[in-house]
Amino acid sequence: MAASEEVPFDYDSVKEIADYLLGLTDIRPKIGIICGSGLGGLATQVENAVEFEYSKIPKFPVSTVVGHAGKLIFGTISGKPVVCMKGRFHYYEGYSPQKVTMPVRVMKLLGVEILIVTNAAGGLNPNYKAGDIMIINDHINSLGVTGIHPLVGPNDDKFGTRFPSTTSAYAKELRKLAMDTCKELGMEDFTQTGVYFYVSGPSYETPAECRMIRTWGGDAVGMSTAPEVVVAVHCGMKVLGFSLITNVVVMDIDTDDAGPNHEEVLETSKRRAQDMQKLVKTVVAKMNVS
């Protein structure tokens, strides 16, 4: 389908997509993984991979961002059946929050119980360095609190309740598992835990905006993830999130620093890619799924 066509996200349309995919592979995924900017290498950890280009999946949106390949990959990691999104969708691409998060609903109907979300983010916390991995313990959905929210509109009880709680959006036991795994792998020197602040993009934040976001409690800032997590929670999934801190944000208006750029984000992601892949693979091996 052409990218300009309407992308439906009602239950019957989502089930149609899931049934279509299940008819083309014997893999019945229990773990879903969304790869952020420059983190598509996580998909290389998938064994016995069966790949589907987004553009070839009926009624599926198409990714338009450099660093997002646009493939749905079924297979196994550490013996666990997974489905991996190599490339995600963003509000700034012109998609509604409902369309951005539709693949999460597809994952739910594929049988996914645990969703792992990854992203590239700017570091706001003064203790963070470029190359750090932040285990997300909470998020601030700045668009959501102003009404640009993926659950706005009629609610379908087949997916979840009208008013889902996001108090524990990032499962405590999965965060502990991730932290314990980081220590086991000797990654604690560049592992952080913190709050992810979601903005729409596509422009990077001004120094004043960065200072505001930090004051509001954000440790890292990025242009994705929060809507997907909200929908995953709505669907009854457990969520684990990782931010790769690809740059430290600029908060001084008189700096000579030109600020972040997408090439820098991709380069930092590339440098830390092997550590991220090893971490996700080891965490998946320890996950309990039915």
Q: Which residues are catalytic?
A: 37, 68, 90, 92-93, 120, 223-224, 247, 262
Q: Cβ(45)–Cβ(280) under 8 Å?
A: yes
Structure-token pair, residue 191:
């592992």
Contact predicate 201/90, CB 8 Å = yes
Measuring CA to CA, how many Å separate 179 from each of 135, 183, 273? 8, 6, 18
Q: How far apart are CA 238 and CA 229, in angstroms?
A: 9
Q: Which amino acid is at 221?
A: V
Q: Would you mind telling me the total number of residues written for the chain in this entry?
A: 290
Phi, psi of 138 (to 5 degrees): -170, 170
Q: What is the chain's alpha carbon radius of gyration, rounded to the nearest angstrom?
A: 18
Q: How many CA atoms lie within 13 A of 262 on its CB side?
A: 11
Residue with tokens 């908060």: 251
Query: Cis peptide leading into 103, omega within 30 of 0?
Result: no
